[in-house]
Amino acid sequence: MLSVVLPDCPHLTAFQTFLKEQQDYKRLTLDQWQGFLRFCEETLPDMSNFDESQAWPLLMDNFVDWAKGQQKDTEMAS
């Protein structure tokens, strides 16, 4: 459903992969949907402007931590 609603979000593919790999969430709540929409609108593709001190759903904090870990793994493999 995310790809239908937010096809232009630069974080969509990574977020979908994260959702498949994580074990804590079985479905997204309205707050998480709205948080991801806001995340797509406000956060740069490299997530350099993500501010953990803002009121993000915990899911978004977990996603950013996961994505940064993926980036480090990619950089180390290169």
Name the region of 47 (left: φ>0; alpha: ψ -120 to 50; beta: rest): left
Percentage of residues of the chain with pLDDT beyond 90: 72
77: amino acid identity, one letter: A
Give residue-wise pLDDT tens across range 36-75: 999 999 999 999 999 999 999 999 999 999 999 988 776 7
Angle at 71 between CA 28 and CA 8, to 5 degrees: 50
* Identity at 41, one-letter amino acid code: E
**Residue 6 to residues 15, 24, 36, 71, 75, Cα–Cα distance (Å):** 11, 23, 9, 23, 28
Indicate the pTM of the whole model: 0.87
